Structures are given as C-alpha cells and as structure tokens.
Amino acid sequence: MTNAIRSPRGINRRGFLDNGQTFLSAGVIALLAGCTTNAAMPMSSGSAEGDVAILNVALSLEHEAIDAYQLGAESKLLDKPVLDVAVLFQGHHKEHRDALAATVRKLGGTPVEPKMMNDYATVLNAGAIKSQGDILVLAAKLERGAANAYLGVIPSFKDTELAKIAGRLAADETMHWTALAGALKQNLPQKALSFAA
Amino acid sequence: MRHLLAAALVVSSLPADAADADRGATLYEERCTGCHSLDANRVGPKHRGVFGRKAGGVPDFRYSNGVGNSTVVWDETTLDRWLANPQGFIAGARMGFRVGEAADRADLIAFLKRESGK
C-alpha cells in the first residue's frame, strides 16, 4: 500500500491524499471574493436557489467520483503507475468538490453531503469489478458522463462566471476521460463536437 | 398537373422522420449516465419505467420539492420540455442539464419509452 492512499489515521473514506489543502481556481476565488466582472453577486437561472441546486448536483457528482476512485484504489487491482494516475485524478475531483462547496455556501446554500461508500459501491456495481481494466472502463464512463453533465448545465447559468466554471470543470473531466480512453486503447471520436450538444 | 398532384400526395403521405431509440441508447450512455442509470438511483433517479410515470414517482429517491410536488406525467411532450429546460419546465427542479438539439431529445425519449416497455 503506498503512502498516497494511507493517511496517518489509516485508510478512511476521506484519506486519499487529503492533506487539508484546498486549491481554488482563479475564477472561483474571484467569485468567492465577490470580485466578478460585474460588481453585483452573480445571478443565474433567475434565482440563486436554482444555481445552488445545479451546483449541488455537480457536487454530488464529485462526491461520487472521489469515492469511485477510492474504491478503485482500495481494490488492489491497480498497477502502481495506474494507481498514481487515479490518485492524481481523485485529487482533481477533491479540488472540484471544495470549490463547488465553497461556492454553494457563498450563494447562501448548504453543500450536499456525500453518501456512504457502500452506497456508491452498490450503485456503481463495484461487485462486478474484477480487473484493472474494469476499473478503467468504469472511470472512463464516469468521467465522460461528468464532462457531458458540466457542458449540459452551462445554458442554465445566466451568469457567465458560473458558466465559465462549469466549462473549466468539464475540461478537467474531458482530460481525465481522454487519458483513460487512451489507456484502454479506445478509439477517439471520429467526429467533432461529440460531447454534449 | 395530375402528375404533380400525385407526387405531392405521395410526399405528404410519407412518415415524418421517426425517432431513433437505438441512437437514443447511445446518447443516454454518453450524456445521461453521468447522473442517472436505468436501474439504480444515483445523483438522479433511475429511469426504467419513467414513461407514463408521474414526476417524482420513484419511491426511494429524494426529489426536490418542485419535482416531488409536480403533477406532470412523463410522456413525449413533457419529457421534451423537461430535457430542453428542466428548471424552466418545473420550478424548483435541481436538474440543470439541458439537451439542446430537438432530434437528440426525440431519440433519448424514444429510448426511454422503449426501456419503459411502452
């Protein structure tokens, strides 16, 4: 077991490289500081409540992704180089989680809490995973789904700052998917504009 | 003139492009499985049997008040409006994901209808 997946308290559901640091993107930092391109707080979807709801759905996705990578790491099926990439990608999702939660609070909402790991294991059918390849297939599917989800919510944000954040999050997920698809030797899309319309 | 009229009648009787449930299956896999699945509640509720079901009708999923209290029943029309703009269709909905292309919505709906046994 590498140091990367063991915290001083042993492995726990938050222990994956959880060193307490929160890295927020420049755009999110600006949002949190109220320093948007407009002086007023961003308003989207006609109501802050609608934006909080969308952001909490995104946060739910990030919780699932974090635990999905945790399940993969704890399976002991991953070769060291693959495990290192899983750790890296999980770290990205933790940054997404922290940024989304902070934005939800800033908008006056309550960030949604993660489910229990067993719940994620059940809905993701973790019991069917028998190989490193199975883990990579699941991860690629989740990352592509997340990329499309972030792209798909962009029109619902009337505020360009939140829309931009969704776009940047989608870019991260697309990067993850591309790396995983390459590891699986999947063909790249032959047509342009293959992600959410 | 009679030839032109006959041709017009033939054209007018041709069926409009039918929605493609198989393409809808691909779109569902690519675009919807980030949050949903057919048989398990995830970020969003499961979709098996959604066609003909009342909005907020999956018993073990925690819906928003907007969707939970809605009287909408899912069919081609309501699903099309929902997928085009969920929060615009049902106030208070949490889902912000939109399917912008009408043909994509039609194919997704055809898939969901098929998977609902309709």
Residues A82-113 pLDDT 10s: 999 999 999 999 999 999 999 999 999 999 99
Counting the structural domains of chain A, the total is: 1
pTM for this predicted structure: 0.79
Query: Which residues in A have their CB inside 8 Å of a CB on B?
Result: 45-46, 49-50, 53-54, 56-57, 60-61, 64, 122-123, 125, 141-142, 144-149, 152-153, 155-157, 194, 196-197
Chain B residues closer than 8 Å to A146 by CB: 34
Give the domain CATH number at A120.
1.20.1260.10
The answer to whether residue A118 is domain-embedded is yes
B65 touches chain A (CB under 8 A): no
Note the pLDDT tens digit of each residue in A31-75: 443 333 333 433 345 577 888 999 999 999 999 999 999 999 999
Distance (Å, whole) CA A136 – CA A180? 6
SS (H, E, C) A132-180: HHHHHHHHHHHHHHHHHHHHHHHHHCCCHHHHHHHHHHHHHHHHHHHHH
Domain assignment of residue B61, yes or no:
yes
Measured in residues, chain A has a length of 197
Per-residue pLDDT tens over the stretch B4-37: 555 545 444 444 468 999 999 999 999 999 999 9
**Cβ of B34 and A60 within 8 Å?**
no
Upper half-sphere CA count for residue B14 (Cβ side, 13 Å) = 7
Q: What pLDDT score does B4 carry?
A: 54
Range of the domain at B51: 17-115
Q: Amino acid identity of B116? A: S
What rounded mean pLDDT belongs to chain A? 81
Torsion, Cα A143 A128 A130 A116, to 10 degrees, reads 60
pLDDT in tens, B30-66: 999 999 999 999 999 999 999 999 999 999 999 999 9
**Cβ contact, residue pair B30, A142, below 8 Å:** no
- Give the total number of structural domains in chain B: 1
- Please report, for the domain that includes residue B23, its CATH number: 1.10.760.10
From residue B56, alpha-carbon distances to A102, A118, B90 in Å are 29, 25, 11
| Residue A152 domain flag | yes
Q: Which of helix, strand or coil describes residue B102?
A: helix
In a domain, A172, yes or no: yes
- What number of other Cβ atoms are within 10 A of residue A47's Cβ? 14
Domain that holds residue A122: 47-183
Q: Is it the case that residue A163 has pLDDT exceeding 50?
A: yes
CB contacts, 8 Å: A53 with chain B: 64, 87, 92-94, 96
Instruction: Note the pLDDT of residue A11.
Output: 30
